Amino acid sequence: MSYYAESTQSGNLLRNCVLFGRMLRMLGVEITPSQMVDLVDSLQYVNIGSRQDFKNSARAVLINRREQLPLFEEAFDLFWQERGESMVLGLDMGQLLQKQQEKLEVYRRNPQNEDNKQSTPDEEPEEERLLTYSDREILRRKDFTRLDADEMAAVRRMMLQTQWRIEPRRTRRTVRATQGNRIDLRRTVRQNLRHGGELLHLAHKERKVKRRPVVLLCDISGSMERYSRVLLQFIYVVTSRLDRVESFVFSTRLTRITRQLRRRNVDEALREASTVVHDWAGGTRIGEAIKTFNYQWARRVLGQGAIVMIISDGWDRGDIALLEREMDRLHRSCHRLIWLNPLLGATDYQPLVRGIKVALPHVDDFLPVHNLASLEQLAALLAEQ
């Protein structure tokens, strides 16, 4: 009797599904808890007495990369083979992983289509295109704290490709227009003087549009240290893509780094910014930092309907009453106030820290900022303002 049949008869199928998912994770396949829940839910729609039906369901739910299919096939056969209960945790997964990595390396070096025809030199192999797309999708969803050096560089390149566009606002000033919705009386009279004052041609005008300024306030305290560097790269990208951006960082005090981030090279910009900031990974006094901004910088940078983004996890060691008062002042001074929290990407996150509790009533948008997909969501929101 196979181990799968034994599991269904003994009622241990759910526990063994969890063990099988753990095995796949040890082999390098990223299995999330939601995928395991989906796998369990799918059992009510298939014949669990059929090993092949269960295998097809598990493959459809747990595998999302083409190159992982051979690994899944051998892992499934190895886990659900005929064996005793004591062998569940004693599988030789290292040997299986090494063998599959060798197969995958040969597969990448000699990409061929299903008809065993070699791809033309001018055409990128279909397998490589799929792999590249799959890698990009994984990086889009991967938390910033889990990126290695190579993945960080790839995310930086993908971040540069994101389209940052602020929806323009209509000003009180007007400009010439060929078919505007308003008549320019002064220009109409002036142009028709050649006709003796007869109004033969009408001149039009429309309200001038202008891009809204953007102000970024980034928390670089100790609790944000895991995200600080990549978020500063995000601020650099926004600064380089938009022409009216003011950037500040804060921990125990507020520091303006707008000038430093205008360097053409991101590494030089971050290195120069680090020389003017003296409270990296320190304590957090969000209320005092916002008060400094309100009293020293708000009049200079919040004109013309600015959008303010605060990047912080909300951990605050300062005066909470001060934070609530200054958040209210800041909210009334800007067009839109957005709070970006990297912890919000966790499925079990709840805004329980006191800094977040007092700030949320004064925030227009409360968004995550833990991976590239969350930044793309933010870019779409800004384009729709």
At 152-180, the pLDDT tens digits run 888 888 888 888 888 777 777 777 887 77
User: pLDDT-based confidence at 122, cuts 50/70/90?
Assistant: very low
Winning range, highest mean pLDDT, from 16-30, 102-116, 252-266: 252-266
pLDDT reported for residue 115:
40
Please, what are the domains in the chain?
3-107 (no CATH), 170-210 (no CATH), 214-383 (3.40.50.410)
pLDDT at 93 over 80: no
Mean pLDDT over 296-323 rounds to 91
pLDDT tens across 12-63, in order?
A: 677 778 888 888 877 777 788 778 888 888 888 887 778 888 888 888 888 8
Give yes or no for a contact between 202 and 183, defined as CB atoms under 8 angstroms apart: yes
Q: Is the pLDDT of residue 117 over 60?
A: no
Q: pLDDT confidence of 130, banded at 50, 70, 90?
A: very low
Of the spans 31-40, 83-92, 192-201, 213-222, which averages the highest pLDDT? 213-222
Let me know: does 180 contact 213? Beta carbons within 8 Å.
no
Of 77-86, 191-200, 232-241, 246-255, the poorest mean pLDDT is in: 77-86
pLDDT > 70: what percent of the chain? 83
Other beta carbons less than 10 A from residue 170's beta carbon: 12
What is the average per-residue pLDDT within 249-257?
A: 92
Q: What is the pTM of this model?
A: 0.60
Q: Which residue shows structure tokens 């209960």?
A: 85
Predicted local confidence at residue 208, as pLDDT: 76
pLDDT > 50? residue 149: yes
Q: What is the mean pLDDT of residues 231-246?
A: 88
- pLDDT, tens digit, for every residue of 354-369? 899 999 999 999 999 9
d(CA 152, CA 154): 5
